[in-house]
Amino acid sequence: MKIRKFEFSIGSYFGSSYSIEYIKGLFLYRTQTAGENTISNINPIFKNDYQFEHIAIFQSDSFDEDLVISEERKLNFFKYITRYCKSWEKEYSNNIVCDGTSWECDIWIDDFRLKSNGLEEFPKNFDTFLKKLSILTSGKIFE
The pLDDT value given to residue 42: 64
pTM above 0.85, yes or no: no
Measured distance CA(132)–CA(143) in Å, rounded: 13
Sign of CA dihedral 102, 106, 107, 112: positive
pLDDT surpassing 50 at residue 138: yes
SS3 63: strand
Domains, in order of start, for the chain: 3-136 (3.30.1560)
pLDDT tens digits along 3-62: 899 999 999 877 889 999 988 777 888 888 877 777 776 654 444 444 333 333 333 444
Mean pLDDT for the stretch of residues 124-133: 94
The pLDDT value given to residue 67: 54
**Cβ(69)–Cβ(137) under 8 Å?**
yes
Task: Write the CB contacts of 78 (distance below 8 Å, at least 6 apart in sequence).
Answer: 1, 109
